[in-house]
Structure 1
Amino acid sequence: MATRAELTEIFGAEGVISLPRSEATAAGLSEDDARVLCDVGFPAELPVIFSLDVPGDPSAFSLVPVDTGADITKVLCLGGPSGNSEMRYCLDMEDGYVILLTLGRQPAAEIINSTVDAFVEFLYRYGLRLKHIASADDRQADEYTKQLRQYLAERDPQAFAEEDTWWNMIFDRLLGKEF
């Protein structure tokens, strides 16, 4: 599990944002989810992959009602892919999953991580990857990326369970594969 100190080392003190404990309590977050969101935090920006400041609504850390067809459930918006106004990472507060919610005419949701803790770990490791490959050649970068994919798949197998999952598509793109 990534720690606040590890995130700060990669993203800087100003680059790690946390949810205030009072907001976590008011939202009704579980203790485990509140600990990650309040004590560990998120990178404010991770090129292409993640941003707390995405265009449009909903904004990060806002509660979003989602019609599941059988029920209306609330999810907590965590941010979205950088510059993308139609996708949001959200915490399913009932089941603890992190989903990628696609907004717009045909809303859709995909589970991308089994816990918010795993999601933060993925973001941290992706940021660490950017740092490590900055001075690497293509072969070294690909090898590091393959090893990272394997590590993350062991950490959260559900994130890579199907060929067309979000994280599989991200890593396929990093490795120059079409998707």
Structure 2
Amino acid sequence: MPTYTQLVHAFGPDGVLTLDRTQVEPHNLRPDDVDTLCETGLPITAAPHFTMHVNGPYEALTAFDAQTPDRPARFLILGQPCTNDNLRYAMELHSGNIFTIALENGTPTPNIKTINTTLDSFIEFLYRIHQRNTDMPGTSANDARPYTEKLIAELKTHDERALGPNTHWTDILNTLLDTDIPKNRDGSRQAIAAALHLLHPDEQPLRWSTETRIGQGVQELSAHRADNHWLLVTHGFSDLDDILELDTPTSGLGFELTMRVPRRQDDDLPPGWALQTLRNLGEYVFGDGYPFADGHRMGVAGQLGPETSRLNALAFITDPQLGTINTPNGTVEFITAVGVTREELAEAKATSNNAVLARLTGDNGLPITDVTR
């Protein structure tokens, strides 16, 4: 069973989720499973076999009741395969067994199959298969066969039932025996995390998954505490995990959005309207819109923040602190979105965004979206 440190080394500091005990204890999990979820954690994505970014109903970490082949049971959803929206991985709370549950029209079917006897073995399988790709990138199936056969034998000692005839993992590992190992595919995720850590080295950011499917919006949002303001950042306009296979000099669409809003000393969370605005911009871009760039402007429906706000438009400039970074799969430019009035929008069109936003800076000289001004 890998440790939390090993999972972080494999999947990145932002690629492992640990839970607070108050989140899981109400589900009456077995003590060992509580320890695993709270101390070891789950990989958020172990492509292509697992992701917590569920597309559709029965989202990760929700509980529900279903009928197994043996008895009624209560399950905790863990996630789904990256390429199958109609299958869920779930842990049966009483036994700790891991099941696959097939969905039809968004509803669980009787097709429920045990794939691991424990949560620990499920994580072990995900981790070890990921390590195969990391240890032997670009290796042919034939040259990798001794490694893969040894891997199968070792995994069988962890969970013999999981590798019985015609099981979920047996099918996957038999396929790996005949599959070339791809070259390393590092996306923008860790480079973005490094840039933000360099800017705020002593700060633990807040993070939220949007549960949005790749290619339909941003996957995550983060909030970073800075002097008198929150720095909000999208994650998902760029190709975080290098799965889009785009032949471009940029990572994905080549940018991520930022926004800075005031923060009082006693604020525990950033304002919800700001996070929702960034999420809406993701849906706009991946829907009928276009990528944002320095110098862009747009009006918004209604206003930013409360009904009393005068801000009903956005102006975009290159983030003055983060700028553009190089990542393993291309460049990423951080574009900051700043709330402006309709009058300021017209002025920006007549002059430039920088000319208007120079007046909207805080004490630190950074553009701030203040809905109370």
**Change in 2 beyond 3 A, CA 1:10/1:68:** closer
Q: TM-score, normalised by structure 2?
A: 0.45
Which deviates the most, 104-113 or 18-27? 104-113
Aligned to 1:124: 127
Q: Structure 1 CA distance, aligned partners of 2:120 and 2:32?
A: 8
Cα-to-partner distance string for 1:64-102 (whole Å, 9 max, x where unaligned) = 211347754210001111132111111111111011111
In structure 2, which of residues 159, 168, 171 is the aligned counterpart of residue 169 of structure 1? 171
User: Which residue of the partner structure matches residue 118 of structure 2?
Assistant: 115
Do the aligned residues in 2 keep the contact of 1:133 with 1:140 (CA within 8 Å)? no
**Counterpart in the other structure of 2:101:** 101
1:34 aligns with 34
2:147 alignment partner AA: Y
Structure of higher RCO (CA pairs closer than 8 Å, 6+ residues apart): 1
Select the structure that is richer in strand: 2
Task: Tell me which residue corresponds to 1:91.
Answer: 91
With 111-120 and 19-28 compared, the bigger mean Cα shift is at 19-28
Aligned to 1:143: 146
Aligned match of 1:5: 5
Partner of 1:67: 67
Q: How does 1:36-55 map to 2 (within 5 A)?
A: 36-55=36-55
Give the 3-state SS of the residue equivalent to 1:81 in structure 2. coil
Aligned-pair Cα RMSD in Å: 1.8
Partners of 1:34 and 1:113 lie apart in 2 by 17
| 1:155–1:71 CA distance, 2 compared to 1 (3 A) | closer
- Tell me, yes or no, if the aligned pair for 1:54 and 1:83 is still in contact at 8 Å: no
Q: Which residue identity is paired with 1:160? A: L
1:39–1:75 distance in 2 versus 1, CA, 3 Å: same
Whether contact under 8 Å (1:4, 1:39) holds in the other structure is yes
| Letter aligned with residue 122 of structure 1 | F
* SS of alignment partner, residue 101 of structure 2: strand
Match for residue 155 of structure 1? 158
Give the count of matched residue pairs: 176
Q: Distance in 2 between matches of 1:19 and 1:66?
A: 24
DSSP 3-state at the match of 2:55: coil
Q: Which amino acid aligns with 2:96?
A: G
Question: 1:20: how far off?
Answer: 2.5
| Greater Cα shift, 164-173 or 15-24 | 15-24
Gaps of 5+ in 2: 180-373
User: 2:119 & 2:33 partners in 1: Cα distance?
Assistant: 6
Return the TM-score normalized by structure 1. Answer: 0.91
* Cα distance, 1:84–1:20 mapped onto 2, change above 3 Å: farther
- The answer as to whether partners of 2:69 and 2:112 remain within 8 angstroms in 1 is no
Higher helix share: 1
- Which ranges in structure 1 are unaligned for 5 or more consecutive residues? none
| Percentage of matched positions with identical amino acids | 31
Structure 1 residue identity aligned to 2:20: P
Instruction: Judge conservation of contact 2:162–2:169 (CA < 8 Å) in 1.
Output: yes
Q: CA 1:42 to 1:70, structure 2 compared with 1: closer, same or farther past 3 Å?
A: closer
